[in-house]
A = this chain, B = another copy of it.
Amino acid sequence: MRKNSVIMSVVFLALIGFSIIPELLHAQIPSQIPDALTVKHSRKSVRKYLDKPVSKEQLEILLRAGMAAPTAGDKRPWSFVVITDPAMLDTLSFASRGARMLSSAAAAIAVCGDKSAGFKSEVWVQDCSAASENILLAAEAIGLGAVWIGIYLNDEPTKYVKRVLGLPEEVFALNIISIGYPTGEEKPKNKWDTTRIHWEKW
């Protein structure tokens, strides 16, 4: 009986351990999120990642931000394919020369548009671009790094991603957002340029 209860205790503790430890390892949501303007100006394209996983909870924060974007006529013509499987990330890294970093990413989100769900044929591109920007900003906000890998408008990558992800006929990946913990090497650019501003008229 004594041996049994020791075994039971070990099994019990092991079960608790296995269920809690991954959560502790993965769920690293900062308790303080920086302010919205700071995040906009600290966001940068992050292509180099630490060898550290991101959690489902973190990815859900990004997805929630994506779905908070506005869409034309409130049609929400979007879907999101979330990839965390290293083999799948590796396969996707061959979509284009600009997609190589996916092989070392912890996760990716393909932001997809449904041509049949949009308000007009190509307006989903604008809607999904706004959602993508929200995802990039949310990643920066919670201490992750991300980069927008353009897919749509590039014929071969478009076909490749459609096939690999098994997208329906009317659904296209606008981009793949590559996600991971930044190494800290990449810095934001200052792109402020007053020559691009016209007051009242061009």
Contact = CB atoms under 8 A, between A and B. Distances in A.
A187 interface: no
Interface string A23-51: 00000000011111111110101000000
A72 B128 CA distance: 15
Interface of A is mostly: mixed
A130 to B, nearest CB: 4
Interface in A87-139: 88, 120, 122-123, 125-126, 129-130, 132-134, 136-138
A40 B34 CA distance: 13
Nearest to A152: B126
Nearest to A188: B68
Interface of A: 32-41, 43, 45, 61, 63-65, 67-70, 72, 74, 76, 78-85, 88, 120, 122-123, 125-126, 129-130, 132-134, 136-138, 140-142, 147-148, 150, 153, 165-168, 171, 174-175, 188-189, 191-193, 196-202
User: Which 4 A-B pairs have CB atoms at the shortest separation, nearest pair first?
Assistant: A129-B129, A36-B39, A33-B35, A36-B141
